[in-house]
Chains A and B, each alone.
Chain A
């Protein structure tokens, strides 16, 4: 028996094509320029103790996946992945094997980082030891080939296939009452919770969230659930995003071009207009969280935070942003990558546990965020849809690999 999966492979010609004209013609990225193929791959078996095969039920398409396919990812990642790989790291699936305390058939979500535990590194790096697996220093060594996460590693496969491998340290059990279309959002929600913690939002602080796609909305929910933020402004481009942001508890929902004005208003800042480029503020929000991963988004975040304020990068950063405000306003620029153990008032908790608990109560809201699911053989439609999700009023597009 073999495994049907979407495989990302090395293709310099497609890479160049997607990078140069993909932004102007996104349809081509889902078509002839996609370095993806629906392949039949060899069977998997758990390589050693602590590993299990997982049958993905749903696997989301993330912004980082689209950036990779569209040739927009930084070459910084090139030594951190092993090609060809099966993408997909937002996964809800069921175990095909018994794994430690978990029995076959258990429904799980996967914390995607392939850290020291998964790689058999002993002793673990200090970060993994502290539960901050996102910061693992060993993601290129050990039992596995290089791969910062499941979905970027040749050996484990990923969620965009009918089977994949996962280590016990990555698994979190999904409660019975939680639907798959909610569970598939646990991974991005855990990342959002991590971002909210990284933002270190003091009670009553003003927050600007740039972007109201899946990451932005989940970040907004996390900020509202896990901090005592004061006034929260969110910059949302599309109508469905604006509606969702209002439901999710934003005090103000504005178009991105009005975001500086809205922040200025709540902070009584001075707004200045440079000879070229976006307006900026002297004064501004206490914290800004960039959830788009675009240059314009980062520029906006940097230009609307008060002096000494904090800018959190939640989206994969794009190059080319003007860092002058970072220097001139003495800002703190903070990265928020994946999820790990967070310090909470009740003690250290894994962000996945927090996400599962919170998602259980937010089920109906989150369930509406998965706008479409596609079988693997309609992968071009799925990618095309995901690339235009905001415009089409969709938040999350996912594969149903068994369909």
Chain B
């Protein structure tokens, strides 16, 4: 049962990264892909009806994590206190940047909110990447299951690391580049002409960085946490995950060259699913490894909630997520196609 909930929570977090990931990526590329007022309106329209729903996956995943593994929620949220609070402030700024720009007709107002939107998206991508890096690397847990991590210590990976060290900075940059590519694919998919061309160019160029960083981060992960290979030895079917990641990397530029934006977007989606799925596969059954003493680590066994809750939860979770998937299908179908600025019922 706890294994099932581990998978469900991981799925929800992955859904968040895939969905809100392209909103964040859109924010990252907004300033240099959209050159004028009309183009920036188009970019905002591409994510306008969906970004809030996408962000809800973070809340829902957080809720599910709290539900299934209360000790993990309590320990990690208080231990990552400072960066989480900054993430909250950035999420606020991102929301304000997307929604408030169009309320006032003034170029200075527009520039301000464009800037807020882009910078907050960029920093969020880096923070989220660094967060994954922290979880993979481990944190200085005490025997009672709690810790408090400073923003940085000496930037080294050791028994007393900070939120930022060379490894988590690397994963942060990898996340930023991943979401840049992902967002560029999305904007290419949703727009025409100049915007489409520029978005494709951004995706093509960032792809080289993505390849390089993927390889670097894999090597770094093997160095920082060699145990990640254990599960691949135990369950050899897991090797399918790196193959999927490689295939998706190869597919991206091929689709782009053929002008198949949807294919490219699905490839970056597959890449994200593969990378996060691989991380979850390698971590299992650990939720939060300890750098201090391996026995202090939080696992799905010592952090889980009561058996009754987990079984009842399965019923309402399946029902709720089925509804959510139905809403999202309806929403995305309603707003499918390219965004245009005409006032004849397009959006």
The reply to whether chain A is a binding partner of chain B is no
Interface residues of A (CB under 8 A from B): none
Interface residues of B (CB under 8 A from A): none
